[in-house]
Amino acid sequence: MRLNNLGLVHTSIERPAPEDVARLSKFGVATIHEAMGRVGLMRPYIRPVYTGAKLCGPVVTVLLQPGDNWMFHAAAEQVLAGDVIVAGCTTESEDGFFGELLATSLAARGCKGLVIDGGVRDVADLEEMEFPVFSRAINAKGTVKATLGSVNVPVVVANALVNPGDVVVADVDGVVVVPRELVGAVADASQAREDNEEAKRQKFREGVLGLDIYGMREPLAAAGLKYVEN
């Protein structure tokens, strides 16, 4: 009887409709997070390793063991064009799991980037390649290939649950996970939010105050806010 999900590579996962992923990719992380009801964010310690990095795509998940990057090589075979790898670890580790050679391998498969709750290295090379990576740390310390993890199992990355086939979106504001079955609906909600914000943005340009746009004056008065001249 299997006692855990280690040593498994699931070779068939369901991905969302490409057109829904494309629509979602137009929006920033903050907009998507708000449109979903303020859920789905990874902890903010996951940061882009170079300025301007951003990504959006269906997820191939990797469960790593500390100090061991063996499973990245197994995951590369499961990547389809447009996918993003999201990697968690069985326990905290900031070793340099990933670098330029793995990025070269994944890019050849059409991979659109990596999100990892761990360390990466070769950052200058990753930037030159324009291979977007979001990580917990930058660390030159290398890893071994000796311990089984898994590919395409549910993983927890920076406090966010990620299932294979979900969509991850990452930019300078952070990383958000959209459940596979909700990608189309979240794209619709994000567009509605963007349209609403554009209307407000125009009012702000015209000099209208947020106090009036959001109808704040009466609630503030009811809460006891007083204006005094001295």
As a whole number, mean pLDDT of residues 103-113 equals 98
pLDDT at 1 over 80: no
Task: Calculate mean pLDDT across residues 43-71.
Answer: 98
pLDDT for position 124: 98
Mean pLDDT of 32-60: 98
Cα(102)–Cα(110) distance, rounded to whole angstroms? 13
Mean pLDDT of the chain: 97
CA distance 150 to 6: 5
From the list 99, 97, 95, the residue with the least C-alpha distance to 122 is 99
Q: Residue 63 above 80 pLDDT?
A: yes
Domain residue spans of the chain: 18-187
Q: What is the pLDDT of residue 230?
A: 82
Is residue 120 within 8 Å of 98, Cβ to Cβ? Answer: yes
pLDDT band at 104 (very low <50, low <70, confident <90, very high): very high
Check residue 164 and give its pLDDT.
Answer: 98
Nearest to 32 by CA among 215, 202, 203, 160: 160
> pLDDT tens-digit profile of 124-181?
999 999 999 999 999 999 999 999 999 999 999 999 999 999 999 999 999 999 999 9
Question: Mapping DSSP to helix (H, G, I), strand (E, B) and coil, where does residue 95 land?
Answer: coil
Report the distance separating Cα 96 and Cα 191, nearest Å. 38
Say if residues 73 and 109 touch (Cβ distance below 8 Å). no
| pTM, to two decimals | 0.93
CA distance 47 to 25: 18
* pLDDT over 90 at 77, yes or no: yes
CATH, domain 18-187, list 3.60.15.10, 3.20.20.70, 3.50.30.40, 3.30.390.30: 3.50.30.40
Contacts of 3 (CB under 8 A, 6+ apart): none
**Per-residue exposure over 148-158, b if at least 16 CB sit within 10 Å of its own CB, e if not:** ebbbbbebebb
What is the Cα 197 distance to its own chain's centre? 23
Binned at pLDDT 50, 70 and 90, residue 215 comes out as: very high
**pLDDT at position 49, please?**
98
Which pLDDT value is given to residue 2? Answer: 81
* Distance (Å, whole) CA 150 – CA 103: 19
Predicted pLDDT at 136: 98
Residue 91 contacts by C-beta under 8 Å, 6 or more apart in sequence? 66
Beta strands 55-64 and 84-89 are parallel
Rounded to the nearest 5 degrees, what angle is found at the Cα of 138, between the Cα atoms of 8 and 70? Answer: 20
Q: Provide the residue type at 70 as one letter.
A: W
